[in-house]
Amino acid sequence: MSQPLRWGILSTAKIGRKYVIPAMQQAARTEIRAIASRNDDAARQAAQELGIPQAYGSYEALLADPEIDAVYNPLPNHLHLPWTVRALEAGKHVLCEKPLGLHAGEVRRLQEAAAQHPGLVLAEAFMYRHHPQWAYVIGQLRSGAIGRVQTVHAHFSYFNTEADNIRNKPEYGGGGLLDIGCYGVSSARWIMGREPQRVMALLVKDERYGTDRIASGLLDFGDATATFTAATAANLWQGLVITGDAGRIEIPVPFNPPADQAAVVRVFAKGDAAETQIPAANHFTRQAEHFARLVRGEAAPAIPLQESLANMQTLDALRESAETGRAVVMG
């Protein structure tokens, strides 16, 4: 139990090479032992660049390695289900990128697979949940700093129109709603501390690719509402505002604040304005450390699988609303 958790990385995806793997290599009780690609050369190049001891030219070979304890799955969305199941069947713990599946049915299948392997940990990689700015924000909300929450609005956008990018391929589960709209839904549900009663959405399709390049949603929590917009071909920007009956909280960079800079949270309450600097932190590093504690039974899940299912059910309902032009009642 004192040994580091030995990881294998499924794929040489950019998010892993550029952000997640270097951060995980800084995590306590964590060792990146292998990386796999469907191309031998790509695997060897990534392993050399990142200082990873072992490279595999197939995912199957990595899963067969008895020296690997856990797998990080950053594959395209449509491959989350099959390769996560195969990793569990190979006896590996799994940290799978968000969203956990393409729809709620896939998340249920992953729940069933995890239940068949009770000694293994399966978790969804919503990295923002591990940044300390959110612990501060949730603490402020639960203490009543801005009174009763009335509204939440989140915006998350980037500009990516590359034809070969997985985010622009509908068959891979591309599009704004699944890629970044999931953050708006997840954060709203966390802030409110409950599930929405009904949802409404509008998706603007990209004529070239057929993916949703703009996804805007409204979540009805009964006595409060949350709105979000996610866009894949717009100016790079994000922000989140929570308004209560006694003040508001602004998070300028809610979902991926720079790891080398202090995060900022602004609280406006009781006629005062306070700006708090949250010490710099890498949420990918903290996510890996949390996962290691999960494996050792030292922590409770930050996002239980039932919550991953609830988030996906909300995303499914938003898609249904966009398709039908009507509000969808939850539950």
- Active site amino acids: 98
Closest CA to 282 of 14, 28, 1, 4: 28
Strands 198-205 and 328-329: antiparallel
Q: Dihedral of the CA atoms 311, 216, 84, 303 (nearest 10)?
A: -30
The three-state secondary structure class of 120 is: coil
> How far is the CA of 108 from the CAs of 7, 125, 197, 221, 224, in angstroms?
25, 17, 21, 24, 29
Q: Contact at 8 Å (CB) between 318 and 217?
A: yes
From the list 234, 237, 143, 224, the residue with the least C-alpha distance to 188 is 224
Q: Is 284 left (phi over 0), alpha (psi -120 to 50) or beta?
A: alpha
Cα radius of gyration (the chain) = 20
285 neighbors 26 (Cβ within 8 angstroms): yes
Which value, to the nearest 10 degrees, does the dihedral of the CA atoms of residues 38, 39, 44, 46 take? -70
Angle, helices 182-192/132-142, rounded to nearest 10 degrees: 40
The residues, any chain, with a CB within 8 Å of residue 27's CB and separated by 6 or more, are: 285, 286, 288, 289, 292
Which of 55, 59, 9 has the alpha carbon at shortest distance from 32?
9
SS (H, E, C) 124-176: EECHHHHCHHHHHHHHHHHCCCCCCEEEEEEEEEEECCCCCCHHHCHHHCCCH
